[in-house]
C-alpha cells in the first residue's frame, strides 16, 4: 500500500458516507466562504492509542467515530454549525491497512451524521502509537458562545444528565471485550448499554449550542468533569457558582453515581448559564427522555474561599473541589 493508495481509499470511504469535499490530492484544502453574518470558529483535538483508546476495549471504527464526536463537541460549545475538518493520521508500522480503514470508516459515518466534510489531511508512519489529530471548523450565526460571560443572577444548567461515560468506561475496563466487542455489547442490559453508549457514542450537543447563541451568557462542553469544567467557566467569567441541585446532574438511567457525574468527564454535554427569567431549551440531540436540560444552581459574585459551592437544603454552603481529569496535573 502506498500513501497515495491510502489517501484515495480514505477519500472513497468519506465519499461513500456522503461526507467528502475533495479533492484530497491537492496541496491544501480550499475552504468555502463564510456565510454573511456568520463567524467561523476552529478547534483542534488529538487522540492517541493507549491514552485515549485501547484496542483491547473496542474496535478502531468506534475509536474513529468517537474521536470526531469529541472534536465536534468543541464546536457545539461555541454554538457553531459544523462545516468541515482536516486531520493528520500517524500510523504505526504494526497497524494493518484494515485497521486504518476501520478508524476512518467510523469517523466517516459520524461526519455524515453531522454534516461535516473531510476537506483534506495528512497520513504518515510513526514509530510511536497511532495518533489522529483533527482540526474542525464551523460557522456561528451570531456571537460565538464563550466561557467568559456568566453574570451574578444567572442560572446554571447542564444540557443532559452526565456520568454515564465514566460508568461505561469502568465497565469496558473491567471486561475488556476487545475482539468480542460486538457480541459482548449485544448481551448488555439496558443500563449497561446506556453507559457504554454514553462513553463510546457521545452526541455533540450541536443543535442546542446553536440555539443558545444570543441567549446563554456563558457555555462550554463537559469534557474533563462537570465540576472542573464549571470551575473553568467560573474562573473565566470571574464569578462563583453555587450548586443547589447537584443530584439533578446524575445520569441515573446509565447507572452513574454522583461521583461519576461530578468528576467522571468525557460526557460532552454542554454546561451553560442563562440570564434570570430565561427558560432553557430541550436538547434535541440528547437521548429520548433525557433531553431536558437540568438546572444545577446559580451564579453569584466572586466569594472568598472558592469558586464552586454546594448549597445544602438547610442553606449551609460547602466549598467543592473542581473534580475532573487534568491531563497535565502532577
Residues in the site for Mg ion, rule: CB under 5 A? 74, 221, 223
Phi-psi region of 24 (alpha: psi -120 to 50; beta: other; left: phi over 0): alpha
- Which C-beta is closer to Mg ion: that of 61 or that of 223? 223
- Contact status, residue 86 vs residue 29, Cβ threshold 8 Å: yes
**Cell 430565561, residue?**
278
Please provide the DSSP assignment of 135-203 as one string. Answer: EEEEEEESSPP-SS---TT-EEEESS-B-HHHHHHHHHHHH--GGGHHHHHHT--HHHHHHHHHHHS--
Least distance in angstroms from the C-beta of 224 to Mg ion: 8
List strands edge to edge, sheet with 117-126: 38-48, 131-141, 81-92, 117-126
* Minimum CB–partner distance for residue 209 and Mg ion (Å): 11
Nearer to Mg ion, 71 or 242 (CB): 71
Residue 23: cis peptide before it, omega within 30 degrees of 0: yes
221 vs 267 by CB, closer to Mg ion: 221
Q: How far is the CB of 220 from Mg ion (least distance, A)?
A: 6
How far apart are CB 103 and Mg ion at their closest, in Å? 22
Instruction: Judge contact between 263 and 124, C-beta under 8 A.
Output: no
CB of 156 to Mg ion, least distance (A): 17
Residue (120 or 149) nearer to Mg ion, CB: 149
- In contact, 83 and 137? CB cutoff 8 Å: yes
Which C-beta is closer to Mg ion: that of 74 or that of 300? 74
Closest to Mg ion by CB, 143 vs 182, is 143
Q: How far is the CB of 160 from Mg ion (least distance, A)?
A: 16
Please, what is the end-to-end C-alpha distance for the chain in angstroms?
42
Amino acid at each position: 500500500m502506498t500513501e497515495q493508495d491510502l489517501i484515495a481509499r480514505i477519500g472513497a470511504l468519506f465519499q461513500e458516507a456522503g461526507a467528502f469535499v475533495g479533492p484530497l490530492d491537492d496541496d491544501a484544502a480550499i475552504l468555502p466562504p463564510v456565510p454573511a453574518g456568520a463567524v467561523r470558529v476552529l478547534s483542534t483535538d488529538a487522540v492517541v492509542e493507549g491514552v485515549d483508546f485501547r484496542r483491547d476495549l473496542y474496535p478502531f471504527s468506534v475509536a474513529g467515530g468517537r474521536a470526531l464526536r469529541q472534536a465536534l463537541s468543541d464546536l457545539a460549545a461555541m454554538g457553531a454549525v459544523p462545516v468541515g475538518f482536516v486531520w493528520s493520521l500517524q500510523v504505526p508500522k504494526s497497524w494493518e491497512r484494515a485497521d486504518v480503514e476501520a478508524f476512518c470508516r467510523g469517523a466517516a459515518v459520524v461526519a455524515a451524521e453531522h454534516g461535516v466534510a473531510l476537506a483534506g489531511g495528512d497520513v504518515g508512519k510513526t514509530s510511536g502509537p497511532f495518533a489522529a489529530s483533527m482540526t474542525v471548523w464551523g460557522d456561528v450565526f451570531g456571537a460565538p458562545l464563550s466561557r467568559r460571560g456568566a453574570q451574578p443572577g444567572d442560572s446554571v444548567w447542564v444540557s443532559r444528565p452526565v456520568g454515564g461515560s465514566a460508568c461505561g468506561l469502568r465497565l469496558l475496563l473491567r471486561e475488556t471485550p476487545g475482539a468480542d466487542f460486538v457480541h459482548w455489547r449485544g448481551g448488555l442490559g439496558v443500563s449497561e448499554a446506556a453507559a457504554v453508549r454514553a462513553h463510546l457514542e457521545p452526541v455533540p450537543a450541536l443543535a442546542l449550542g446553536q440555539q443558545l447563541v444570543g441567549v446563554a451568557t456563558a457555555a462550554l462542553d463537559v469534557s474533563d468533569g462537570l465540576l472542573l469544567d464549571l470551575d473553568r467557566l467560573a474562573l473565566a467569567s470571574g464569578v462563583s457558582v453555587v450548586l443547589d441541585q447537584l443530584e439533578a446532574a446524575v445520569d441515573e438511567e446509565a447507572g452513574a453515581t454522583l461521583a461519576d457525574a461530578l468528576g467522571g468527564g468525557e460526557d460532552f454535554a454542554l454546561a451553560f448559564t442563562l440570564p434570570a427569567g430565561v427558560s432553557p431549551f430541550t436538547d434535541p440531540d440528547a437521548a429520548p427522555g433525557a433531553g431536558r436540560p437540568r438546572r444545577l444552581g446559580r451564579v453569584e459574585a466572586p466569594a472568598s474561599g472558592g469558586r464552586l459551592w454546594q448549597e445544602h437544603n438547610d442553606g449551609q454552603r460547602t466549598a467543592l473541589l473542581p473534580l475532573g481529569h487534568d491531563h497535565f496535573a502532577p
